[in-house]
Amino acid sequence: MQLLSQFLKHQKTDEQLVELINTLMVACKEIALQLREGELAGVLGTTDNTNVQGETQKKLDVIANDVLKKLLLDNPLVAGLASEEEDDPVPGNPNGRFLVTFDPLDGSSNIDIDVSVGTIFSVLELTPGEDPALHKTYLQSGRRQVAAGYVLYGPSAVLAMTTGQGVNFFTLAHTGDFILTRENVQIPPTTREFAINMSNQRHWEPAMQNYIGDLLLGSDGPRGKNYNMRWIASMVAEVHRVLTRGGIFSYPWDAREPAKPGKLRLMYEGNPMSLLIEQAGGIASTCYAPILDVQPKEIHERVSIALGSSEEVEALLSYHSTDK
């Protein structure tokens, strides 16, 4: 039985990064507790507020954001943070080393029906001389992440994380410790499973419509095999399934808001999840290029996403390159 901190030290992870990860896990344990108590703690339902994305905030969105913000800003290593729920970056210690971006509660539309949600985080290093109160300080490509991961709050609370040395799973025990439960996770390269919001099909590009159409044809179509479709409406849960047993997850561009490249956020969702997927042997793409190579232009930038089993993502990319 190996504790998270022991495992990280065994990997020779930077000691300050270990300290920061420990702070993140303290916050996630508090969020897990709030979720477990649910309606008993009066934390279900919505607020009267909307976030910078124009989305109505759930009570637990606000609670999770406040928990993470307080604990991170109390850590002297944190120079600043950016959250999906905050309009602007929040500066921390002027002598801090790290920038943390996060989605405090991904999939929050599932909270009131008790379906899995999660916290996604990404860690960057502050460029010397940059101001952590400014948006431009955070606009680093995903290749510059020094750590990324998520905590899935499901039947058990599971941390999936990478520090650039593979992906590992840790499960929250009754002792309050995250314990290593799966080492060096690898995504199977082939799959018969896909996840996409089919209600948006009529709005997709022709290439995506053709790709999904061929999957739906199953063994009678050009792909020559039958597929199962999944949709949980929680990126953390979707990616966890992909990491655990393979598959492809996509949230592509659609014509309803043509000026936006996608729905999901590059800094809080796209980059950290893409690093996990690549570290586990999968592919993460905008449908045209690797997500980790996208140079952010703003902290709340959106991105199209297709990620998962390498052979299936390559098949999807072939449709977009030839526009069948």
Instruction: Check the annotation: does 20 bind a ligand.
Output: no
d(CA 256, CA 80): 34
pLDDT at 112: 82
Report the pLDDT value the prediction gives residue 56, as an integer from 0 to 100. Answer: 58
Least confident window among 134-138, 145-149, 254-258: 254-258
Percent of the chain at pLDDT > 90 equals 85
Q: Give the span between the Cα atoms of 5 and 290, in whole angstroms.
A: 31
Q: What is the mean pLDDT of residues 132-144?
A: 98
In this predicted model, which residue has the larger pLDDT, 300 or 113?
300
Query: Which segments of 18-132 are extended strands (E)?
Result: 46-50, 56-58, 78-83, 90-91, 98-106, 117-125
Q: What is the location of CATH 3.40.190.80 in the chain? A: 193-322
Determine the angle formed by the axes of helices 59-73 and 15-37, rounding to 10 degrees.
150
Rounded-to-integer distance, Cα 160 and Cα 169, Å: 5
The Cα 168–Cα 159 span in angstroms is 8
pLDDT of 260 above 90? no
Burial (CB count within 10 angstroms: exposed 0-12, middle 13-18, buried 19+), residue 65 = buried
Q: Within 10 A of 219 (CB to CB), how many other CB atoms are there?
A: 9
Using CA atoms, how far apart are residues 269 and 267, in angstroms rounded to an integer? 6
Region 84-107 average pLDDT: 96
Reported confidence tier of residue 190, pLDDT bands at 50, 70, 90: very high
Reply yes or no on whether the pLDDT at 45 is more than 80. no
What's the CA gap between 108 and 255, in Å, rounded?
Answer: 24
**pLDDT tens string 155-170:** 999 999 999 999 999 9
Is position 285 annotated in a ligand binding site? no
Which pLDDT does position 184 carry in this prediction? 97
109 is in an annotated binding site: yes
pLDDT at 246 over 70: yes
Sequence-distant (6+) residues with CB within 8 A of 304 are 251, 252, 253, 261, 262, 286, 287
The pLDDT confidence band at residue 324, using thresholds 50, 70 and 90, is very low
Q: Does residue 48 have a pLDDT over 60?
A: no
The Cα–Cα gap between 13 and 199 comes to: 43
Q: Give residue 18's pLDDT.
A: 97
Question: How high is the pLDDT of residue 37?
Answer: 78
How confident is residue 59, by pLDDT bands cut at 50, 70 and 90? confident
pLDDT value of position 88: 97
Helix (H, G, I), strand (E, B) or coil at 128: coil
Geometric angle at alpha carbon 267, from 254 and 198, rounded to 5°: 25
Query: 10 Å Cβ neighbour count for 19?
Result: 15
CA–CA gap between residue 101 and residue 3 (Å, rounded): 25
84 is in an annotated binding site: yes
Report the pLDDT value the prediction gives residue 76, as an integer from 0 to 100: 98
Tell whether 228 is in a known binding site: no
Cα Rg of the chain, angstroms: 19
* 92 is annotated as contributing to ligand binding: no
Closest CA to 294 of 321, 249, 256, 262: 262
Residue 61 pLDDT grade (very low, low, confident, very high; cuts 50, 70, 90): confident
CA atoms of 174 and 194, how far apart (whole Å): 34
Both tokens assigned to 224: 């020559």
Q: Is the pLDDT of residue 97 over 60?
A: yes
The sign of the dihedral angle between the CA atoms of 135, 102, 34, 197 is: positive
| CATH code reported for the domain at 4-182 | 3.30.540.10
The three-state secondary structure class of 228 is strand
User: For residue 110, what pLDDT is reported?
Assistant: 84
Q: Is 105 annotated as a binding residue?
A: yes
Mean pLDDT of 214-227: 97
197 known ligand binder? yes
CATH 3.30.540.10 domain residues, the chain = 4-182
Question: What is the reported pTM?
Answer: 0.94
Tell me, which fold does domain 193-322 have in CATH? D-Maltodextrin-Binding Protein; domain 2 (3.40.190)
Please report, for residues 14, 107, 165, 240, the alpha-carbon distance to residue 185 in angstroms, rounded to integers and kept in the order given. Answer: 21, 23, 11, 11
Q: Considering the chain, what is the average pLDDT of its residues? A: 93
